[in-house]
Amino acid sequence: MSFFLRHWIAAAAMAVLLLFSVAISGGQESVVGIPGFSPAHAQAERQLEETFRAIPDAARAESNLRHLTSEPHRAGTDASHRVAEWLRDQYRSFGFDTEMVTYKVWLPEPREIKLELTAPVTKSLASPEQPFAGDNQTYDSRVAPAFNAYSPSGDIRGPVVYVNYGMPDDYRDLSSLGVSVEGKIVLARYGRGYRGIKVKLAEEHKAVGVILYSDPEDDGYAAGDPYPGGPWRPASGVQRGSVMYTQIYPGDPLTPGGGATPTVKRITPADAANLPRIPTIPISAQDASVILSNLSGAHVPHGWQGGLAFTYHVGPGDSQVHMKVAIDYAERPIYDVIAKLHGTNDDEWVMLGNHHDAWVFGAADPGSGTSAMLETARALGELVKSGWKPRRTIVICQWDAEEPGLIGSTEWVEEHRAELQAKALVYINTDVGATGPNFAASATPSLKDLVRDATRDVKDPDTLGAVYDAWSEQAARAKREEAGTTRQAPPADPPGKPPLTPLGAGSDFSPFVDFAGVASIDMGFGGDYGVYHSVFDDFYWMKHFGDPHFEYQVALARVLGTVALRLDQADLLPFDYSAYGAEMEQEARNLATAAARQPEETASVKIVTDAAARFAASASRESQALAGISSFPQDPKVTETINRNLAEVERDFLAPEGLAGRPWFKHTLFAPGSYTGYSAEVMPGVTEALTRHDLPVLRREANAVAAALERAARRLDDIAHLARQTNASPVEGR
């Protein structure tokens, strides 16, 4: 059966059952079906969700954020501990069974950050951010100097070479100009990739140090009015951030693969593959302009000119700098908060989370997400106080040390991996929760329609229509604007639906997906946000620009809770594997096209395309079989067995040996790219080996992907077989 015919049959089966709504007798309105719910339960779910969505409150969200941003609270500090204690107490007051989990991990503390231009003139750089009257927090003496976490200490001098964004294509451009960075200090602007990739590439090209800066073309005055007149980065703004090589593995550098408990085996920093070996420092645009304006050498290639008011040159030239970085590294405590709302079935978990540590005040990142999560939890607690009991246990996690390298979540997942794989159904993440009106989400393919469906039932604060409709219009507008550019749409999203991007890295969903195989979602509302990781990401910025009325934090709480309730209350878990199968089959076809001109690679790729076709066929059969259930079995254990298998399909995609060269990453279908960092690579082992024309690794990775798809296909066939034997009332939306 062809890919298109299978996809059409699965869609038709779903459409038929969606039309089979519950007609309420006595002239009442029909209740629209909800994927995964029997007709008997759909109406009760609608009522429960409406009650829930009426509870989150903007005034409470504002109060939450005011408290969360009351002091700088970087991971490893006493202030971060105070935030964790406050969060623990909040969740307890909502009725959650809450604990605070402590890990000791390898964390940096800046002691001295110094940069000076030594030629052609002497000028001190690495300036502190300029405070602004009216925003008292920008005067706070507790703000630490801007630094890059996991930079080693160093004291170096040398000429500077400008490398644009410092990504692979940029180094190819430099090579074509005959410019080498060996022995030089590179100056790279933020954007187009994770900062740790920029440092890794500089290290690979034998640079001795890295200076990172924010160019006004990317998030400053070229984008719009800078702070405090607008939401964009002012000239003195500095983007802090980690340069840990999280694309190799995230978490505590000294405990890869194991939770940082007192008994875990720790390696030495010299043996930690995810630690950079050259010093790095972040600076502002106004400091970078001093260096850039003194560079000579070739005029920059096309696309390298930024927003500063002079012509950029590559260098090296007259600009010489002295760079000193002194960092104190030690085992320091971090604090995760784990809150459980126990359900009737305590062996099935619906999980939500975001982090609580911040580079400075963290109003947007992560405070807006934390504020929304608190309102989600409070509303769920109110439902319990009114007599409702969750069907499954809801677990809400507030992670520490996300900013240095996803540490709190990674250590907890590593410690609890076996329990998670036995109990966790889905992990729902938010991070930068609200910086504007534009909803966006990423998800494993089986959960994309769950997110879309939930947003149909949440009101958009601006348009007063559904979030889904505003999201769809925004996506259509972005598609029109991108027409004719080189930017690519997310893979395999159906036409007419707002896209969800694949999950890469950059937030706390990564250990759940990449290491434990838990299907995951990441979501939030975005907008004009130029103060990322700076002192200006504070309460004043949020109140004036990001979410002045705190209505999008409330909207996010409503979406988070709606998705959680549908997973918690569903009769059959609403995983859509027909969509997953269609997406993987298309991605395999893309690989086949990429390999078409290299016959020696075709055989390996064919293993993947054949396995993807079998997985898609099994997913189609599973979808039809679940759609054909006429009633629930007498024994609820049969339904539990189906649900357990539905959740475990994602585990089937894990390879115990992990990706070649990156064994921490176990997922064969999704991982952050080795040279992208945050954005996802689909079928990463195969894709990257094909790009490098590495035949031995290509064969290994192709076999791993094929084996994973075959495992998942067999499980879906088992689900279909069990579903065909089932005999009770219809299940909507399959």
Q: Exactly one of 49, 203, 402, 701 is catalytic; which is it? A: 402
Question: Does any domain span residue 557?
Answer: yes
pLDDT-derived band at 724, boundaries 50, 70, 90: confident
Q: What is the 3-state secondary structure of 605-626?
A: HHHHHHHHHHHHHHHHHHHHHH
Question: Does any domain span residue 158?
Answer: yes
Residue 42 has pLDDT above 90, yes or no: yes
Cα-to-chain-centroid distance, residue 34: 27
Give the burial string for 169-188 (b: 16+ CB within 10 Å, else e). Answer: ebbebbeeeebebeebbbbb
Which tokens sit at 165?
A: 């964004």
pLDDT-derived band at 357, boundaries 50, 70, 90: very high
Q: What pLDDT shows up at residue 484?
A: 59
Q: Which of 280, 307, 330 is the last residue of a domain?
A: 330
Residue 658 and residue 523 in one domain: no
Question: Does any domain span residue 36?
Answer: no
Structurally, the chain folds into a number of domains equal to: 3
Which tokens sit at 113?
A: 């950050």
pLDDT-derived band at 727, boundaries 50, 70, 90: low
Interval 542-555 mean pLDDT: 98
* H helix count then E strand count, the chain: 22, 16
For Cα atoms 188, 322, 282, give the angle at the middle one, nearest 5 degrees. Answer: 35
Domain containing 438 — which CATH number? Answer: 3.40.630.10
Which tokens sit at 304?
A: 């390298």
Q: What pLDDT shows up at residue 28?
A: 31
Write the burial class of residue 350 (CB in 10 Å: 0-12 exposed, 13-18 middle, 19+ buried). buried
Domain containing 218 — which CATH number? Answer: 3.50.30.30
pLDDT-derived band at 631, boundaries 50, 70, 90: low
User: 162 versus 21: which is more confidently predicted?
Assistant: 162
Residue 321 and residue 232 in one domain: yes
Residue 279 and residue 320 in one domain: yes
Domain containing 18 — which CATH number? Answer: 1.20.930.40
The boundaries of the domain holding residue 145 are: 108-330
Residue 397 and residue 323 in one domain: no
Residue 207 and residue 265 in one domain: yes
Which phi-psi region, left, alpha or beta, contains residue 705 (left: φ > 0; alpha: ψ -120 to 50)?
alpha
Of 551, 548, 527, nearest in space to 539 by CA: 548
Confirm if 237 and 531 have CB atoms less than 8 A apart.
yes
Cα-Cα-Cα-Cα dihedral of 242, 243, 245, 246, to 10°?
A: 20
Lowest mean pLDDT among 74-88, 119-133, 370-384, 472-486: 472-486
Write the burial class of residue 438 (CB in 10 Å: 0-12 exposed, 13-18 middle, 19+ buried). middle
Give the global pTM: 0.94
Residue 351 and residue 426 in one domain: yes
Q: Give the pairing type, strands 209-213 and 154-162.
A: unpaired
CA distance 166 to 174: 10
Q: What pLDDT shows up at residue 130?
A: 98
Q: Which of 293, 309, 330 is the last residue of a domain?
A: 330
Q: What pLDDT shows up at residue 139?
A: 98
Q: Which of 330, 353, 378 is the last residue of a domain?
A: 330
Residue 9 and residue 126 in one domain: no
Question: Which backbone phi and psi does 524 adopt, to 5 degrees?
Answer: 175, 175
Place of tokens 């007498």: 634
pLDDT digit string, tens, across residues 377-430: 999 999 999 999 999 999 999 999 999 999 999 999 999 999 999 999 999 999
Question: Does any domain span residue 477?
Answer: yes
Cα-Cα-Cα-Cα dihedral of 236, 242, 245, 250, to 10°?
A: -150
Q: How far apart are the first and last CA of the chain?
A: 20
What is the DSSP code (8-state) at residue 725? T
Question: Does any domain span residue 709?
Answer: yes
Residue 533 and residue 438 in one domain: yes
Write the CA distances from 437 to 56, 463, 555, integer angstroms.
18, 10, 10
3-class DSSP state of 164: coil
Residue 1 has pLDDT above 60, yes or no: no
Residue 500 and residue 601 in one domain: no
Q: What pLDDT shows up at residue 278?
A: 98
Question: Does any domain span residue 432?
Answer: yes
Confirm if 729 and 630 have CB atoms less than 8 A apart.
yes
DSSP 246-271: TTT--S-TTSTTS---TTS----GGG
Question: Does any domain span residue 639?
Answer: yes
Residue 373 and residue 490 in one domain: yes
Which tokens sit at 263?
A: 């008994």
Q: What pLDDT shows up at residue 12?
A: 39
CA distance 320 to 137: 35
Q: Around Cβ 286, how many Cβ atoms within 10 Å?
A: 18
CA distance 273 to 255: 11
Place of tokens 């209350």: 569
Question: Does any domain span residue 132?
Answer: yes
Q: What pLDDT shows up at residue 731?
A: 52
Confirm if 436 and 527 have CB atoms less than 8 A apart.
yes
pLDDT-derived band at 24, boundaries 50, 70, 90: very low
Residue 254 and residue 312 in one domain: yes
Residue 101 and residue 112 in one domain: no
CA distance 274 to 269: 9
CA distance 330 to 409: 20
Q: Which residues contact 379 (CB under 8 A, 6 or more apart)?
A: 52, 53, 55, 56, 557, 561
Q: Which residues contact 23 (CB under 8 A, 6 or more apart)?
A: 30
Residue 187 has pLDDT above 60, yes or no: yes
In 552-686, beta strands by DSSP E: 670-672, 680-682
Q: What pLDDT shows up at residue 677?
A: 76
Mean pLDDT of the chain: 92
402 a catalytic residue: yes
Residue 516 has pLDDT above 60, yes or no: yes
Q: Is the peptide bond before 316 cis (omega within 30 degrees of 0)?
A: yes
Q: What percent of the chain has pLDDT over 90?
A: 87
pLDDT digit string, tens, across residues 646-689: 999 999 999 999 999 999 999 999 999 999 878 999 999 999 99
